[in-house]
Amino acid sequence: MADNIKSEIEKRRTFAIISHPDAGKTTLTEKFLLYGGAINTAGSVKGKANSKYAVSDWMEIEKERGISVTSSVMQFNYDGFCINILDTPGHQDFSEDTYRTLMAADSAVMVIDASKGVEAQTIKLFKVCVMLHIPIFTFINKMDRDAKDSFELLDDIETVLGIRTCPINWPIGSGKEFKGIFDRKAKTVRTFEAVSTGGAKSAAETDYSIDDPELKKIVPDNLYEQLVEEIELLDGASDELDMDKVSKGELSPVFFGSALNTFGIEIFLKYFLEMTSSPLPRMSNEGLIDPITEPFSAFVFKIQANMNKAHRDRIAFMRVCSGKFDADKDVYHVQSGRKLKLSQPQQIMAQDRQVIQEAYAGDVIGVFDPGIFSIGDTITMPGHKYEYEGIPTFAPEHFCRVIQLNSMKRKQFVKGITQIAQEGAIQIFQEFTAGMSEIIVGVVGVLQFDVLKYRLENEYGCEIRLESLPYEYIRWVGDPSTDVTKLKRMNNVKAVKDMKGNPLLLFVNEWMIRMVLEDNEGLELLEFKKN
């Protein structure tokens, strides 16, 4: 039995895909699923009315705008491995969801647009990966379009992100001249020829050894000579593949390809599975928890309401950290101190769900949430009471007062705004004197206001008006027992409390923060809070 658990865990790989918007992340995810036989035809993001939307973009607003706003979880089997992909929102306004998702991943795949190089959102997400010390693999996408010089792209990654690179393969030409990639380890060239089949694009691939005369018929002389020169240069100047550095997040293996044409994906998957490890031990308040020897444990990294319109439901997404989950056994919810059965455990393929009986360390499962789970909660077996490290709540930068337009729908409004807040996309605050009638919403990016309005109207039938507020900074009060009404220098500062009753202060500018700290001795203000 133990051997079976061990072999199941060892074949698990769990990774997140990160990128700047439009670098091709969702397309890449689709193509992975295609290889895993999980979908028959990959959808394109910029879909026409009759073509398929990408599997991972399931919310109406995502289809309308062609962007991913919530993280999706997908699982597929490939080549004897069981792979869990966490697709993250590319849009910066939803970066908080991405941070939380990265907590549930063992490694990250960074997708870079070959014509643009490293972009702003990539830098942000990359920093989180570094903070979490997770291995980063780079896939340079869109080689079938005119691209920057490949050495320039590597230099861009190294100087902007501060991580060394090691190209595993190397492109031959780009745009219309793109002929294929050279595999540095196997010393073979895989040629590229775009073909379109039934609306889906793919590539006709053939492998040649580097000195095969047939290759020279396909690759023009100038590109062939350039390739030979560049290979020499790489062998002499690029970093060696050092797996110890990769595992610490200090060196990134780099791959080239075209997700749209399904080229370079299979090679990437093959090497990625060789280079990554199965789930590793995780830190708790009682030290490291071993994924194989310890019994079942998990933590909640995401809550999503109303994934299914027919059932007004809430799903808590958990990353299994150790052992085997068995649907028939009681588990222990550490934060509430309650024993319970996880109801309707399911693995989720975007919005398609499959009820499961078991899962293993590395897997992500969704369970029905009756309203008891919060982001960062730990689930263990009865008798074990350790907690995994909390997930930080980031300080919102934009604030609005929410005004409900129909007082008859008070109940729906309170339920709707509370549930959306529990998902972590927005944070809601109340003034100390007002009840739920005066709600202030804080978000990391302004697009989240649109999503809030859209979801309250469409999922809960509540019309609202949003009034923007001038505040840009928020700080948690270090000691929650502080009476904020007695603080000095509070003109133009708003005191509010969060859902758990913790006091917070809203400021118009940084200067005000300094003034309040100077005038109130011993006051501690925090930028973010661990859940």
Q: What is the pLDDT of residues 474-528, one digit of tens each?
A: 898 988 888 888 888 888 888 898 877 889 999 999 899 999 999 998 898 887 6
Query: Whole-angstrom Cα distance, residue 115 to residue 140?
Result: 9
Q: What pLDDT is attached to residue 437?
A: 61
Paired tokens of 206:
């053939």
Q: What pLDDT is attached to residue 9?
A: 95
Q: Reply yes or no on whether the pLDDT at 346 is more than 80.
A: yes
What mean pLDDT is reported for the chain?
Answer: 83
For the chain, helix, strand, coil in percent to 5 are 30, 35, 40
Q: What pLDDT is attached to residue 272?
A: 95
Give me the long-range contacts of 191-195 (CB less than 8 A, separation at least 24): 191/215, 191/218, 191/219, 192/144, 192/258, 192/261, 192/263, 194/144, 194/261
Instruction: Express each pLDDT in 137-167 by its tens digit.
Output: 999 999 999 999 999 999 999 998 889 999 9
CA atoms within 13 A on the CB side of 263: 35
Say which CATH superfamily domain 14-68+107-275 falls into: P-loop containing nucleotide triphosphate hydrolases (3.40.50.300)
Q: What is the 3-state secondary structure (H, E, C) of 410-453?
A: HHHHHHHHHHHHHCCCCEEEEECCCCCCCEEEEECCCHHHHHHH
Q: What pLDDT is attached to residue 90?
A: 52
Where does 57-125 show beta strands of DSSP type E?
A: 72-78, 81-87, 107-113
Where in the chain are the domains? 14-68+107-275, 282-380, 392-530
Query: Whole-angstrom Cα distance, residue 380 to residue 387?
Result: 9
Residues 166/251, Cβ–Cβ less than 8 Å: yes
Pairing mode, strands 378-380 and 331-333: antiparallel
10 Å Cβ neighbour count for 315? 24
Residues 497/429, Cβ–Cβ less than 8 Å: yes
Q: What pLDDT is attached to residue 422?
A: 75
- Nearest CA-CA partner of 31 in 362, 246, 303, 267: 267
**Level-2 CATH architecture, domain 282-380:** Beta Barrel (2.40)
- Return the CA Rg of the chain: 25
Query: Whole-angstrom Cα distance, residue 502 to residue 451?
Result: 26
* Residue found by looking up tokens 């694009």 in the block: 201
Whole-prediction pTM value?
Answer: 0.76
Q: Reply yes or no on whether the pLDDT at 415 is more than 50.
A: yes
Q: What is the CATH number of domain 392-530?
A: 3.30.70.3280
- Among 39-48, 124-133, 517-526, the least confident range: 39-48
